Structure 1
Amino acid sequence: MVGLVLLVHGGLWDGTDAELFWYRPGIVAGLEGAGLKVVAPDRARRPVDWAQDVVSFGGLLSSGVLGAEPVTVVGASNGCTVAALLAVEFPEAVGRLLLAWPATGGDPEVSARARVGLLERGASGVVADGLLAGETLRGVTDAHLVSLGEYRGPWRPGLPVGVLPSVPENPSHQRKTVDALLRLMPSAIELPGCPEPPRPDFGPHRDRLVATLAAFAGGG
């Protein structure tokens, strides 16, 4: 059976889409070349809340369009929020969860800078504050993250979770966020990090990233 990977791109009110994040850097082509089926929809360009993306992506998971088998969900940067919430809301459909380059939440300085950017791009103060609220990840409680790795009986010993850091770290994707996720979910594993795909220095890391994603989706 061909494994299915659902890619959730990053960005927040900045025009980032799946083409920029997944297709143009060659990640989708690489995963397909590794024998995986890949679905990489666009997130809402100007979401008023996180639920907007969760409902949209959740419709794919719950409708049967993606098939009956659990999928591997890969969230990137701010897309980690959507990916984590999908795992909370659709536990039967999400078989593995990878949080890549998680955007740093719960940091007053980072949030203040992000808020300015959201307002400059047209978000209202209410929308900006709602999107930036959260703990380790924006829009997600730490209690929700803890619940993802908890033992749920013989039928599901805990969701396999991978965390992939930004290397080198940067102000929006800090190492402390990766460390916090690993503490909250002790069963999670850290995967080899690299720059985020839209960055100009990503190119040389493409093949290793594809191999890392493919191995995780395959249970490795």
Structure 2
Amino acid sequence: MTTSVLLVHGGLWDAMDADAFWGTPGVTAAVIAALDPDGSGRVEVLAPDRPQRATGWDLEVAALGEYLAKRSGPVRIVGASNGCTVAVLLATRFPDVVDRLMLAWPATGDDPAGNERARAGMMNRGCPADVADGLLRGGILRGVQDRELASLTQTRVAVLPSVPENPSHQRKTVDALLRSIRGSHELAGCPEPPVPGFPPFLDQLARTIVEFVN
């Protein structure tokens, strides 16, 4: 039976892709090398692009859900930044497939100033105002109802904070997730892969992901 690891990158509305988030910083290669060093295929690592201009979270879940629907073995998801929204929604839609969920650098959703900055950036990239408002709506995480977080009782969940925290990835979001998801625990934090301060933390992050997946 093959175990699948799905890496869900961050970004909102045309701001990021999987290669920029996971590939160029070296995360994808490091995780593959650690999980499947002999190329046996016992563990597959998937790092697909999220839809670049999806007008709703449901469209993103439908697109990435195709990867889960094709898997017979367990799937472990690593969601990053705003990709944590997609990761949580996938876990709630596929509870019999997703058995582990890592929420890394979760984007802060319940912050008016942060949402306004995100909204302005999205609209500058051509996002309609009503679409931006819909994508930013939610609770602790954008696009997720807090009750959906509380429903993750059958999934092993870990939260990896942004260290240092920043306006888009605040410590309060990590604490709120840990309180809301029963049995969840915190992992060693680091900067997000696309930022300049990340390279010294590549090995640490790869080890953290591998330990969680295994």
TM-score calculated relative to the size of structure 1: 0.91
1:94 to 98, 108, 122: 98
Instruction: Decide which moves more: 76-85 or 7-16.
Output: 7-16
Deviation track 1:132-159 (CA, whole Å, cap 9, x = no partner) reads 000000000000000002xxxxxxxx21
Tell me how far 1:26 sits from its aligned partner.
1.0
In the alignment, the residues of structure 2 paired with residue 90 and residue 123 of structure 1 have an alpha-carbon distance, to the nearest angstrom, of: 29
Flag as ranges the 4+ runs of structure 1 deviating above 2 A. none
Give 1:124's aligned residue: 128
Q: Which residue of 2 aligns with 1:25?
A: 25
Kindly report the root-mean-square deviation, in angstroms, between the aligned alpha carbons of the 2 structures.
1.0
Identical amino acids, percent of aligned pairs: 56
Gaps of 5+ in 2: 36-42
For residues 180-195 of structure 1, the aligned pairs below 5 Å read 180-195=176-191
2:202 paired residue number: 206
Task: Kindly report which structure 2 residues correspond to 1:38-49, keeping only aligned pairs within 5 A, or say none.
Answer: 38-49=45-56
Q: How many residues align?
A: 207
Is 1:16 aligned to residue 20 of structure 2?
no
Give the Cα separation in 2 of the matches to 1:126 and 1:216.
Answer: 38
1:75 matched residue in structure 2: 79
> Which residue identity is paired with 2:112?
P
Find the partner of 1:56 among 53, 63, 83: 63
Worse-superposed segment, 6-15 or 186-195: 6-15
Counterpart for residue 153 of structure 1: none
* Aligned-residue offset at 1:24: 1.0
Q: Specify the SS of the correspondent of 1:73.
A: strand
Matched with 1:110 is: 114
Residue 15 of structure 1, CA deviation: 3.3
Secondary structure at 1:106 match in 2: coil
1:210 to partner: Cα distance: 0.2
In the alignment, is the contact (CA less than 8 A) between 2:2 and 2:73 conserved in 1?
A: no
The secondary structure found in structure 2 opposite 1:148 is coil
Structure 1: 5+ residue stretches without partners = 150-157
Deviations 1:159-188 (A, max 9, x none): 100100000000000000000000001300
For 1:134-173, what aligned pairs fall within 5 Å after superposition?
Answer: 134-149=138-153, 158-173=154-169
Q: Secondary structure at the match of 2:182?
A: coil
Following superposition, the deviation at residue 106 of structure 1 comes to 1.5
Contact conserved, 1:3 with 1:217, CA < 8 A, in 2? no
Shift of 1:14: 3.8
Per the alignment, residue 215 of structure 1 pairs with 211
C-alpha contact 2:149 2:180 (8 A) present in aligned 1: yes
Q: 1:24 to 1:14 in 2, by over 3 A?
A: same
Cα distance in 2 between the residues matched to 1:14 and 1:174: 22
**SS of the counterpart of 1:34?**
helix
Q: How far does residue 2 in structure 1 lie from its aligned partner after superposition?
A: 5.1
Query: Match of 1:51, as an amino acid?
Result: D
